[in-house]
Amino acid sequence: MEKLSSHFTEEEARCKCGCGRIVVDDVLVRLLESIRAAAGHRPVTVRSWNRCVQYNKEVGGSPDSQHLYGKAADISVKGVDPDQLADFAASCGADGIGIYHTQGFVHVDVRGYRVRWREK
């Protein structure tokens, strides 16, 4: 299994539909490592990272989703509330942060400008 960094692998980054799509954005990889450290060095579960156009449609992603460019990841950390995880992400310099409290994950991305949202 190819490693992208100390704690993240290519396998985690690939599109979950099985198409094998992977675009690695080093800024995002560094962000994920920072968040992992901020969360007390606990394992970060990646729910969604790269997405091909087809899969992005299937999961209801926006047409210009940062997941299409490998610049976004939906993550959770066991035992860490999504609100708290979002705070860690903000302190680590994430650009886009979306809190999906009911589903228990936080979207983080490195789009280059600040965006915040919360699932209704």
**Binding window for Zn ion (CB under 5 A); candidates: 4-12, 33-41, 87-95, 102-110:** 102-110
Q: Name the minimum Å distance from CB 44 to Zn ion.
A: 14
89 binds Zn ion (CB under 5 A): no
Q: Taking a C-beta distance cutoff of 8 angstroms, is the pair 4, 32 a contact?
A: no
Q: Taking a C-beta distance cutoff of 8 angstroms, is the pair 74, 106 a contact?
A: yes
* Cβ-based nearer residue to Zn ion, 19 or 23: 19
- Strands annotated E in the chain: 44-48, 72-77, 96-100, 105-109, 115-118
What is the sign, positive or negative, of the torsion defined by CA atoms of 87, 92, 93, 95?
Answer: negative
Cα–Cα distance measured from residue 115 to residue 68, given in angstroms and rounded to the nearest whole number: 17
Q: Taking a C-beta distance cutoff of 8 angstroms, is the pair 113, 95 a contact?
A: yes
- Tell me the site size for Zn ion, rule CB under 5 A: 9
17 binds Zn ion (CB under 5 A): yes
Q: Which of 19, 23, 24, 59 binds Zn ion (CB under 5 A)?
A: 19
* Cβ-based nearer residue to Zn ion, 41 or 59: 59
Binding to Zn ion in span 22-51, by CB under 5 A: none
Site residues, Zn ion (CB under 5 A) = 15, 17, 19, 21, 52, 55, 72, 74, 107
